[in-house]
Amino acid sequence: MRIQAVLLAGDRAHSKAVRGRSKGFIEIDGRPMVVHVLEALLRTPEVSEVFVVGNAPRLEKAIAEHGCLRVAAARSRSVHVVPQRETLYANIWDTFLRTLPPEGPVEDHPILVVPADIPLVLPEEISDFVRQAVALESDYVIGLTPDTVLARFAPTSAQPGVRMASFNVAEGRLRQNNLHYVRPLRMGNRHYIQDMYENRFQKQLGSVLALAWRVLVKEFRNLWVFGFYLLMHLAGVLEQRGFVRASDRIRARVSLATVERGIGDLLDTRVRTAVTTLGGAAIDIDNDPDLAAAEKMIGPWKAMQLRAARAGAPGR
């Protein structure tokens, strides 16, 4: 199975800058973050071509300077640069339309959507996710990573690290890992994607509740979703404050299947999740401390993931 990938490197509207700069072009280990992700996609067997959307002149320069076209040619892949629009949703939709076959729209046409701020992602993790997503035969598959995997990237007394927020469900504590398999033409309420993006920081409870209210007042038939939504965030708040047992009792009331159903009802599509266990896709660089840690640890962290991949970690 081959799939087209959309790599999001836009820096307009609600995109978050780091060190006052566009994240995708910040260099780590001598290469911009967007180049790290692009090369991982080009080396993923299941990816047929990559559409990179963002500041077109800067992207074309970075891609040329860092040898991405040579990698693409060596693996018989194509790289297309797409000028960015004003919002994340517009970037995805406009680029998706460019992936459609010449004969016209195909309702079940899928794309892989990936952001440019996950420089630790490896081809092995992308490949594992795509294989799982295809097997699930759903219209929107969201990648997840367990917090036990993310613990490998946490700071210690000997080295810097990152701590990533997770959400709490009966199956465990999980983080959305930035990999999305989606059939946009089968998503009835795809316009809610922009709302979710604008209120994506889980620690900002006010934003979370505002998003829930805006969506649910339009979707009265899905009012039940608000209940488990609050339980998940309450479990998260309790866990962050050290009340782990209380958090566990609350999250036991919310299964991953319930979350999938809730998101699916709101977006008017079939939603499933796929768990990957290397971890790099879940480490998005959103602030200065995380960037500083990634600058120092990218080599060891990638080596750690490669050892896990060779030991058979993907999908287990």
What pTM does this model have? 0.89
Mean pLDDT of 144-161: 95
67 pLDDT exceeds 70? yes
The full set of domain ranges for the chain reads 3-310
Average pLDDT, integer, range 250-261: 90
Contacts for 156 with CB less than 8 Å, ≥ 6 apart: none
The model's pLDDT over 187-222, given as tens digits with 9 standing for 90+, comes to 988 877 755 555 444 444 445 555 555 555 555 555
- Name which residue leads in pLDDT, 38 or 89: 38
Class of domain 3-310: alpha beta
Helix (H) or strand (E) holding 209: helix 205-216
54 sits in the region (left: phi over 0; alpha: psi -120 to 50; else beta) called left
- What single DSSP character describes residue 18? B
Beta strands in 116-171 (DSSP E): 140-146, 167-169
> How confident is the model over 249-259, as a mean pLDDT?
90
Residue 246 has pLDDT above 50, yes or no: yes
Mean pLDDT of 28-36: 96
The stretch 244-264 carries a mean pLDDT of: 90
pLDDT tens digits, 111-137? 999 999 999 999 999 999 999 999 999
pLDDT digits (tens, 9 = 90+) for 265-282: 888 899 999 999 999 999
* Tokens 């990936």 sit on residue: 114
Of 183, 190, 176, the residue nearest 274 (C-alpha): 176
